[in-house]
Structures are given as C-alpha cells and as structure tokens.
Amino acid sequence: MAKQAGLDLGALDGSGPHGRIIKRDVEAALESGGGMKAASDDTSERAPAASTPAPAGDREFEEIKVSNMRRVIAERLQEAKQTIPHFYLTVDCEIDKLLAMRKDLNGRSDAYKISVNDFVIRALALALRKVPDANAEWAGKSIRKYKAADVAVAVAIEGGLITPVVRDADQKGLAAISNEMKELAQRARDGKLAPEEYQGGTFSISNLGMYGIKQFDAVINPPQAGILAIGTGEQRPVVHDGALDIATVMSVTLSCDHRVVDGAIGADLLTAFKGFIEDPLTMLL
C-alpha cells in the first residue's frame, strides 16, 4: 500500500505491536498527507519532545535510549488514558474451592500444571460468552461485538510487555489453556511470537498476584473495551452466615471503556466471573 501511494515507510510511526506499521497507519498518512519524508532522512534518532523535562539539577544520571517497543507501549497507553473514558469496578473473590480443585487436578497427571491464572483465563472467557455485550470495542460510528472470546494475557518481557492471545478460550479446557499459555509465554520471552499470536484479542488480563500486589487498576489496551486486573490471593477475615471466618480472597478490578461497557454491563461481567471463580466446578460444564 505504501509503495503504491509513494509513501516512505521510514517516515511513518507504527501503531501495531512492537511498533509495526499496519494498514491503518498507511491510511492515516494518506489522509493527512504525511509520510512523504525523504528516504535519506535518519528517523532512528528523533528530536526530543518539547515537553521533555530538564535533568534534576546537577545530579548524575544515566540516559537510556527508548526502544521501539517501549516507545510504542508509551504512545498506546497515553492514547488509551487520553481518549478512552476509563472507569473501574472491583470485587473480592473467595478462591479456596478453586485452590482445592487445582491441587486435585494437578495431582492426577504430569501432562499439565494448571495455575490460578489458567482458571482466570477460562472464567473470563466464559463470562464474556455469558455477557456478550462486554466482548466488544468502540469503532467510532459503531460498536463491534465479537462472538469469539479471545483472551489476551499480559506477559512481561525484556524491554516491556506483550500480550499473547488464547484464541477461543471459552471453547478450551483448563489443561489446554495451561499448556498453550505456557508455550505462548515462553516464546514471548524468547521473542519468537508470530504477529497473529499477539494481535487481535477481544479482552485482556493483567495478573500481578505473583508479585504480592493486592489490587490495581490496569490501563485498557485499545481498541479493546476492558481489561481485568488480578491481585494476589491472601487470607482475610470474611463473614459467612453471620459468623466470622477466614477465607483466601483475591481482589479483581475491571477497567471499562464507558463508551462500550457501562456500569450495568461491567457489573454483570464481574458477577459472572466471580460466579465461575467461586464455584469452579461450573467451569467444567
């Protein structure tokens, strides 16, 4: 497309994963008349933005060149917070039954090792199938509602984050999700993911529970309409039938794009998710 239009790819900023130039970048350049910069110009060294802060006095510091991946992540997150009207919903999920089931299932075979995150992926996918209005994205003059529950999972790699996608997660069992996620995460860290493996998710998960984080609000990954932030499971006092008890509780926060997912839809999605997490046998039906 760029060649046919006489555009210089070196003058374009890619908005795809890892800074890849995708179709909409070429279309945007054509609409704005940009992308005609001479091919001989060096675009690898960009002038600092006008808002670049001055160093803190005479203190010593190390200046680290921003990688293409980090630059794209920064641009997309800034775009998300500036253009997407975020709001947040939080629920506490008791996970003692889930932990008992996980222990039982993992003791039955060496062919898989199911994690709490695998249950979370499965529960979110089933909740999206149950509340399809949340499995959507804002498209300006329309809302795109997806039939497939393709769950993108944030994975930390050197230099940033990448979100490999478990396709049709509502159609897969826990063992299949577990094995697929382990393979995707490893190849993500090795830099061997194909573009189709980290593009096109319909909803995202960010799990910081393994770092001991109790609760946090994640930034939506555009053009998706939501992301689920998972905190750590910890023992907390709870009330059961009017009596004080102890349970393992996991706090979950849903970040919603209010243009697509209003309060009622978001609450329905979290209620469905909480139901699957607290009664994990229903995930096997």
Q: Enumerate the active-site residues.
A: 258
**Residue 217 structure tokens:** 């609000």
57: region left, alpha or beta (phi > 0 left; psi from -120 to 50 alpha): left
Residue (of 193, 215, 270) closest to 181 by Cα position: 193
105: region left, alpha or beta (phi > 0 left; psi from -120 to 50 alpha): alpha
Dist CA 216 CA 230 (whole Å): 8
Contacts of 133 by beta carbon, 8 Å cutoff, 6+ apart: 145, 261, 265, 268
Residue with tokens 């992540």: 73
Contacts of 75 by beta carbon, 8 Å cutoff, 6+ apart: 13, 15
Residue with tokens 């003791």: 107
What sign does the CA torsion over 32, 33, 35, 40 have? negative
